[in-house]
Amino acid sequence: MEREVDFAGYARAIAARWWLLVLGAVLGGVIGFLVGRSDGSTFQAQAIVYLGQPLSGTGSSPVASLASDPSGVSAVARSQAVVDEVAGQVGMSPAELRRGVSASPLGERRAQSVVTLVGITVRGDERAPVEEAANLLGQVVVDRAASYADAKIALYEQRLEAQQERVTRLEGQVDEVAEVIQGGGDLSSAERISLTTLLTVFQEQLARVQDDVLTVEQLLTQARDIERGRVVTEAAAAQVDARSTRTSIVVGAFIGLLLGALAALLWGPLARLRTP
Let me know: does 263 contact 23? Beta carbons within 8 Å: no
Q: What does each C-alpha distance from 107 to 116, 202, 233 come to in angstroms?
A: 9, 54, 15
Question: Is residue 164 over pLDDT 90?
Answer: yes
Question: Is residue 276 over pLDDT 70?
Answer: no
Gap between the Cα atoms of 169 and 189, Å rounded: 27
Which backbone phi and psi does 226 adopt, to 5 degrees? -115, -50
Signed CA dihedral, 92, 97, 103, 106: sign only: negative
Let me know: does 230 contact 138? Beta carbons within 8 Å: no
State residue 32's pLDDT score. Answer: 75
| 103 strand-pairing partners | 120
State residue 114's pLDDT score. Answer: 54
Spatial neighbors of 36 by CB under 8 A, at least 6 apart, are: 241, 243, 244, 245, 246, 247, 248, 249
State residue 268's pLDDT score. Answer: 66
pLDDT band at 206 (very low <50, low <70, confident <90, very high): very high
Gap between the Cα atoms of 104 and 73, Å rounded: 8
Spatial neighbors of 83 by CB under 8 A, at least 6 apart, are: 94, 97, 98, 101
State residue 112's pLDDT score. Answer: 46
Helix (H, G, I), strand (E, B) or coil at 137: helix
Return the higher-pLDDT residue of 217 and 35. 217
Gap between the Cα atoms of 12 and 121, Å rounded: 49
State residue 33's pLDDT score. Answer: 74
Q: What is the mean pLDDT of residues 19-37?
A: 77
C-alpha 137 chain-centroid distance: 11
Q: How high does pLDDT run on average in the chain?
A: 82
State residue 4's pLDDT score. Answer: 47
Helical ranges in 17-112 per DSSP H: 18-38, 71-77, 80-90, 94-100
Give buried/exposed letters for 113-133 (b at 16+ CB in 10 A, else e).
Answer: ebebbbbbbbbbeebebbbbb
Gap between the Cα atoms of 95 and 93, Å rounded: 5
Which backbone phi and psi does 17 adopt, to 5 degrees? -120, 45
* pLDDT 10s digits, 112-142: 455 678 999 999 888 899 999 999 999 999 9
Question: Is residue 241 over pLDDT 80?
Answer: no
Q: What is the mean pLDDT of residues 53-67?
A: 75
Which backbone phi and psi does 233 adopt, to 5 degrees? -135, 120
Gap between the Cα atoms of 105 and 92, Å rounded: 25
The closest of 221, 226, 254, 211 to 61, measured between CA atoms, is 226
